[in-house]
Structures are given as structure tokens and as C-alpha cells.
């Protein structure tokens, strides 16, 4: 695994949640139970003050449009490119993908993870589902994963570690959790279920412990 | 739409978490009423997080009179095709077959709406019976909790849709939030009494008292016409805002839609709201609610 993340000097890093749209409060709520400071990130100034970033679930096309319109996309690319740890759920996974399928014309992503993500791959809302997904690095117990109009990862580059796949009889199952150095993404929403293991793993990554 | 590799017996669709989870994804955004694919594109480009597909916006339903019903499936299909963001659509209160049709068409969310003419004067739809999530309107906490008991995954204020007058939505938001705060001050015995007064199941009343908020997202709808209206709703506790007639009944819909999106996001920043409020052109004319007859009021529909 690529471990370029530098340990931070601060014992209590500030983890921001990108607040352009989506379930921001749920991520803040999980992070507030950990030994970190939290902040909402609405603009470039706030982005400068955080050590790491969570990109929440929501509507990825809206999030992307607003990031461009409010001048956040380039600052986000710069920070992620410079090694800021980031974790994206659902729409956040799309934002961290180097390549996107099923997006709208001109949909921009921040990028950072060498993967191809297919938007809404599991279908519309009536096809949204819950499933038990084993996730590497957070213990034996499978994760009770909630998928909402969710994307999947169609392919990954050599630097990317696959942490989880949807169970099922077909093929080997679709990839729904990945890590590349300090960057992590899941198709599903740990912030909705009260299981904090993936957020804890991210905090460990931010602190240079994982 | 791609077929999936995952719809096995172990994967559960339409669960409470999947429905409420969808509602959570729409937070901090604006949902816009649209009547054509072209309007849907304008809404999407402006940054709407979802569109509400309907045949006539509430202002026209008021003007035209008659029975207002679910939209033509062709029209819903046209809007689903036109945009990539989630699509919602309205059914009449209690009209379970209209809801079955919309679910079949693949809409992402159903609004059981007082804006359409009610089909049942005593019962709302049993929303647990559906895979698709529902949003319902409420004027007060008791109504909100009854809708949640029936399976609603999102609650919105009713407001007085199609008037461009935000006063009713303000009343509903204040009422719901104040009653939630009051529940937090009650002891165990009093919560049983409160459940009786609210005509809502004790378990949900208790849950709200403990959480200090509804167990589903609370959005606002009805009469929002300006960026400042949208920000007002957010400051009163709405997690997102529905805008009905306010956008496409105004002079410059694209610009107004963008302004309302920005004000909804930066609702605590008067500088942003001032900037986006400049030069928007004509707002929808608006109706003074004292001029409405009781039979013309929508907020009283729902039981």
C-alpha cells in the first residue's frame, strides 16, 4: 500500500466536512465522537484551515457544479494533490475518482484515487438497498452498508487497495470500498448507520497511525 | 440504467434506512417544481438537488381550479429522461394507485401532496407498503408524527403553495420546532399525555423527545419566492427547501433558481443573500392569504 501520508504534528487534527450539499450533519456527528476537531467547509478560506476532509453523500452532479461555481474545485484539487487525507461516501466517492462514467456532460471531479467510478451504477432509488459488506481493516464483523442511488468502482489502478465488495453470486462482486494512501472512498454511507469503524480508520490515517 | 450484480436475496430494498437515507442525501439543497423537460434542465443546471415533476405549478392549479391529479406518465417519463438528478412527483392524499403508478415509473420520491385534490378524506397512504420513499406535508408536530407513523421518510411544511406568500410556511416551521422543544421538557408520564394530545404513537413521541428533532429530515415548502425566503426557512430549522411556483413564475427563472440555491447554502450569511438578491427581476406576484377563501386553502387538507 502506498503510505505517503505524513504524520501530523497536531495531536488533534481538524477534519472538515465539505458542506456544499448532502448529509453533512451526519458525518460531523460521527466525527465529533472522536478525538478530532471538526469544521464545515463552504469555501476556500475554510478549506485552508482543515488538516483532512470528508466529502459527504448527496447529489454528485450538484456538488460538482457548486464546487466549480464557488471556486472550490481547484483549491480542492490542490490540497488533495498535496497529500491532504480525504474520505468520500457515495457522491464523495465520485468526487475523488480520477475517471467517471454515467455522469452529466462536463461533470468535474476532484480526483486523487486512480479508479473509474460508475455513477448511479446500482440504479435509481427504488433499487437502493442495504447489504452486509465485509470491509478490510475494520474487523471481522461485516459492515451494515446502506446504498442510495449508489456508484460502484468499475476498475482501479495498481496503487489502489480494494477494501470491500458487495456480496453476491455474480462475478466477484462489485468494488464498493477503496483506499489509496491517505484517500479513502465507499459507495455506501457509514454515517447513516451509527457504526463508526470506517470513520475511525480514517481518523487513524489522518493521525498517521494507519 | 445499468443492471446490477447485487440484487440478491441478502440485499434489502425499500427499508426504513434506505428510504430515510435517500431523504438525508437531499439535505442542504433546493428541490424545484418543474412542468416540462426544459424547465427540469434549467433547474438542474442551476444546482437543484432534485426536481418535482408536475403538470401545473400550484399557482396555476389555483388559477385553473378543478380537480388536480397525478401527472401524465408521458410527462413524468420526459422529465426522468431529461435530467440526471433525482425526480420526485406528486400524488393525491390517500390515492394509493397513483402512488403505485409513480413507483412503477421509477420516480425516486413521492410527495403525497395537499396541493392536489385529496382522494380520501380520512386516510393517508400506507407508505410502508412501498419501496419508494414518501414526503408528506405537516402544519404541526402531531400531523408530522402521524405521517411518520404511516411511513413518511421526510416531512415538509405545507405553507400555502402557489401564493408566493411565506407566512404559512413560517407558521408551520415555528409550530413544529416549538412543539419538539416542548417535548424535551416533559417527564415520562407527561410524554404519554403528549402522545394523546398529538394523536401520535407514543414510541415516536418518545423518540422525538430524546433526539430533539424528527427522526426524518424536516424540509420546508409553500410560498417560498425569494432567496431571503429560502434562507428564512433554513434559519427556522428547515434542512432543505422546496420551491414551487416561485421560480418559473418569475421574470428570470435561471437566475432566480441559482440565487435561491446560493441563499439556501449560505443562509447565515446576509452578505451572500444581499448579493444574490440583486437584479433578479420580477418575483411572482403573490397572493395575500386574507384574500383566500377557506375552500382555496391547501394547508388544511390532510388528517
What digits encode the pLDDT tens for the residues A115-127? Answer: 999 999 999 999 9
Q: What is the model's pLDDT at position B33?
A: 94
pLDDT reading at A100 higher than 80 = yes
Backbone angles phi, psi at B300, to 5 degrees: -80, -5
Contact B18 A128 (CB under 8 A): yes
Q: What is the model's pLDDT at position A169?
A: 57
Contact A123 B4 (CB under 8 A): yes
CB pairs under 8 A between A and B: 151
Chain B residues with a Cβ under 8 Å from any Cβ in chain A: 1-2, 4-8, 10-15, 17-18, 20-22, 24-29, 44-45, 47-50, 84-86, 103, 106, 108-109, 131-133, 239, 261, 265-266
Catalytic residue among B19, B41, B63, B90: B90
Catalytic residue among A26, A32, A74, A90: A90
Any bridge partners for residue B34, and if so which?
B53
Q: Is B90 a catalytic residue?
A: yes
Which chain B residues touch A89 with a CB distance below 8 Å? none
Which chain A residues touch B29 with a CB distance below 8 Å? 21-22, 58-59, 62
Distance from CA of A71 to the nearest CA of B (A): 13
Q: What is the model's pLDDT at position A1?
A: 45
Contact A20 B265 (CB under 8 A): yes
Contact B5 A171 (CB under 8 A): yes
Which chain A residues touch B133 with a CB distance below 8 Å? 125
Q: What is the pLDDT of residues A167-178, one digit of tens each?
A: 865 545 899 999
CB A136 within 8 A of CB A173: no
Query: Which residue of B lies nearest to A121 if distances are taken between CA atoms?
Result: B2
Q: What is the model's pLDDT at position B283?
A: 77
Segment A184-193 shows an average pLDDT of 96
Report helix, strand or coil for A113: strand
Any bridge partners for residue B111, and if so which?
B90, B135
The grid cell for B218 is 424536516
The DSSP code for A127 is G
pLDDT reading at A5 higher than 60 = no
pLDDT, greater one: A194 or A48: A48
Distance from CA of B287 to the nearest CA of A (A): 32
Query: Which residue of A lies nearest to B103 if distances are taken between CA atoms?
Result: A126
Query: Longest C-alpha distance within chain A, in Å?
Result: 47
Which chain B residues touch A100 with a CB distance below 8 Å? none
> What does the DSSP assignment read for A15-32?
EEEE-SSSSHHHHHHHHH
Q: Report the residue from A103, A166, A192 with minimal CB separation from B24.
A: A192
Catalytic residue among A108, A130, A140, A189: A189
**Extended strands (E) in A49-134:** 52-55, 86-89, 97-101, 113-118, 129-133
Q: Can you say how many angstroms the Cα of residue B173 is from the centroid of all Cα atoms in its chain? A: 12
CB A84 within 8 A of CB A65: no
Q: Is A59 a catalytic residue?
A: no
Q: pLDDT tens digits for chain B (303 residues)?
A: 333 334 444 689 999 999 999 999 999 999 999 999 999 999 999 999 999 999 888 888 888 888 899 999 999 999 999 999 999 999 999 999 999 999 999 999 999 999 999 999 999 999 999 999 999 999 999 999 999 999 999 999 998 888 888 999 999 999 999 999 999 999 999 999 999 999 999 999 999 999 999 999 999 999 899 999 999 999 999 999 999 888 988 888 999 999 999 999 999 999 999 999 999 987 776 777 777 777 778 888 888
Q: What is the model's pLDDT at position A31?
A: 97
Share of chain A above pLDDT 70, in %: 93
Contact A130 B12 (CB under 8 A): yes
Contact A61 B132 (CB under 8 A): no
Which chain A residues touch B7 with a CB distance below 8 Å? 127, 129
The grid cell for A160 is 489502489
Helix axes B227-235, B167-183, angle to 10 degrees: 10
Which chain B residues touch A186 with a CB distance below 8 Å? none
Segment A52-81 shows an average pLDDT of 97
CB A174 within 8 A of CB B11: no
pLDDT reading at A53 higher than 60 = yes
Contact A169 B8 (CB under 8 A): yes
The mean-pLDDT minimum among A48-57, A196-205, B146-155, B275-284 falls in B275-284
Q: What is the model's pLDDT at position B268?
A: 96
Which chain B residues touch A171 with a CB distance below 8 Å? 5
Query: Which residue is listed with cell 446490477?
Result: B4
Helix axes B37-46, B253-265, angle to 10 degrees: 40
Catalytic residue among A108, A191, A199, A209: A191
Contact A127 B7 (CB under 8 A): yes
Please calculate the CA angle B30-B22-A192 and round it to the nearest 5 degrees: 115
Calculate the alpha carbon distances from B158 to A80, B224, B240, B302 in Å.
Answer: 42, 11, 14, 10
Q: What is the model's pLDDT at position B9?
A: 47
The sign of the torsion formed by the CA atoms of A92, B19, B97, B295 equals negative
Contact B21 A189 (CB under 8 A): yes
Contact A168 B45 (CB under 8 A): no
* Ramachandran assignment for B286, one of left (phi > 0), alpha (psi -120 to 50 degrees), beta (any other): left
Contact B106 A148 (CB under 8 A): no
SS (H, E, C) chain B: CCCCCCCCCCCEECCHHHHHHHHHHCCCCEEEEECCHHHHHHHHHHCCCEEEECCCCHHHHHHHCCCCCCCCHHHHHHHHHHCCCCEEEEEECCCHHHHHHHHHHCCCEEEEECCCCCCCCCCCCCHHHCCCCEEEEECCHHHHHHHHHCCCCEEEECCCCCCCCCHHHHHHHHHHHHHHHHHCCCCHHHHHHHHHHHCCCHHHHHHHHHHCCCCCCEEECCCCCCHHHHHHHHHCCCCCEEECHHHHCCCCHHHHHHHHHHHHHCCCCHHHHHHHHCCCCCCCCCCCHHHCCHHHCCCCCCC
Amino acid at each position: 500500500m502506498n503510505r505517503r501520508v505524513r504524520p501530523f504534528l497536531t495531536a488533534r487534527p481538524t477534519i472538515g466536512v465539505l458542506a456544499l450539499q448532502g448529509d453533512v450533519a451526519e458525518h460531523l456527528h460521527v466525527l465529533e465522537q472522536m478525538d478530532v476537531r471538526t469544521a464545515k467547509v463552504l469555501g476556500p478560506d475554510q478549506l485552508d484551515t482543515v488538516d483532512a476532509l470528508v466529502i459527504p453523500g448527496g447529489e454528485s452532479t450538484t456538488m460538482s457544479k457548486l464546487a466549480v461555481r464557488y471556486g472550490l474545485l481547484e483549491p480542492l484539487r490542490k490540497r488533495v494533490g498535496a497529500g491532504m487525507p480525504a474520505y468520500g461516501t457515495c457522491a464523495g466517492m465520485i468526487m475523488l475518482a480520477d475517471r467517471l462514467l454515467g455522469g452529466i456532460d462536463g461533470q468535474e471531479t476532484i480526483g486523487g484515487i486512480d479508479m473509474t467510478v460508475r455513477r448511479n451504477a446500482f440504479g435509481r432509488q427504488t433499487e437502493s438497498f442495504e447489504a452486509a459488506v465485509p470491509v478490510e481493516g475494520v474487523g471481522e464483523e461485516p459492515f451494515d452498508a446502506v446504498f442510495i442511488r449508489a456508484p460502484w468502482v468499475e476498475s482501479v489502478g495498481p496503487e489502489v487497495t480494494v477494501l470491500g465488495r458487495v456480496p453476491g453470486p455474480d462475478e466477484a462482486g462489485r468494488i464498493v470500498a477503496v483506499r489509496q494512501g491517505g484517500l479513502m472512498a465507499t459507495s455506501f454511507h457509514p454515517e447513516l448507520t451509527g457504526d463508526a469503524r470506517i470513520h475511525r480508520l480514517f481518523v487513524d490515517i489522518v493521525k498517521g497511525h494507519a | 440504467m445499468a443492471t446490477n450484480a447485487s440484487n440478491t436475496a441478502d440485499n434489502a430494498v425499500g427499508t426504513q434506512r434506505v428510504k430515510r437515507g435517500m431523504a438525508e442525501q437531499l439535505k442542504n439543497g433546493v428541490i424545484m417544481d418543474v412542468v416540462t423537460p426544459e424547465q427540469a434542465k434549467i433547474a438542474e443546471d442551476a444546482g437543484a438537488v432534485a426536481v418535482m415533476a408536475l403538470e401545473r405549478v400550484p399557482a396555476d392549479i389555483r388559477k385553473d381550479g378543478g380537480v388536480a391529479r397525478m401527472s401524465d406518465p408521458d410527462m413524468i417519463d420526459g422529465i426522468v429522461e431529461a435530467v440526471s438528478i433525482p425526480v420526485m412527483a406528486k400524488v393525491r392524499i390517500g390515492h394509493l394507485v397513483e402512488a403505485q403508478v409513480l413507483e412503477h415509473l421509477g420516480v425516486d420520491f413521492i410527495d403525497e401532496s395537499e396541493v392536489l385534490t385529496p382522494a380520501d378524506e380520512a386516510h393517508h397512504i400506507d407508505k410502508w407498503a412501498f419501496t419508494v420513499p414518501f414526503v408528506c406535508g405537516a402544519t404541526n408536530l402531531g400531523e408530522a408524527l402521524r405521517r411518520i407513523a404511516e411511513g413518511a421518510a421526510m416531512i415538509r411544511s405545507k405553507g400555502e403553495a402557489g401564493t408566493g406568500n411565506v407566512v404559512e410556511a413560517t407558521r408551520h416551521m415555528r409550530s413544529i420546532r416549538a412543539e419538539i422543544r416542548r417535548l424535551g421538557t416533559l417527564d415520562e408520564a407527561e410524554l404519554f399525555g403528549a402522545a394523546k394530545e398529538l394523536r401520535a404513537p407514543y414510541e415516536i413521541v418518545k423518540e422525538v423527545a430524546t433526539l430533539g428533532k424528527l427522526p426524518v429530515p424536516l424540509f420546508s415548502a409553500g410560498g417560498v419566492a425569494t432567496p431571503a425566503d429560502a434562507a428564512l426557512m433554513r434559519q427556522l430549522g428547515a434542512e432543505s427547501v422546496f420551491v414551487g411556483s416561485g421560480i418559473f413564475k418569475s421574470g428570470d427563472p435561471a437566475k432566480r433558481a441559482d440565487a435561491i440555491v446560493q441563499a439556501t447554502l449560505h443562509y447565515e450569511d446576509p452578505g451572500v443573500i444581499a448579493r444574490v438578491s440583486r437584479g433578479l427581476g420580477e418575483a411572482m406576484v403573490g397572493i395575500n392569504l386574507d384574500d383566500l377563501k377557506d375552500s382555496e386553502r391547501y394547508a388544511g387538507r390532510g388528517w
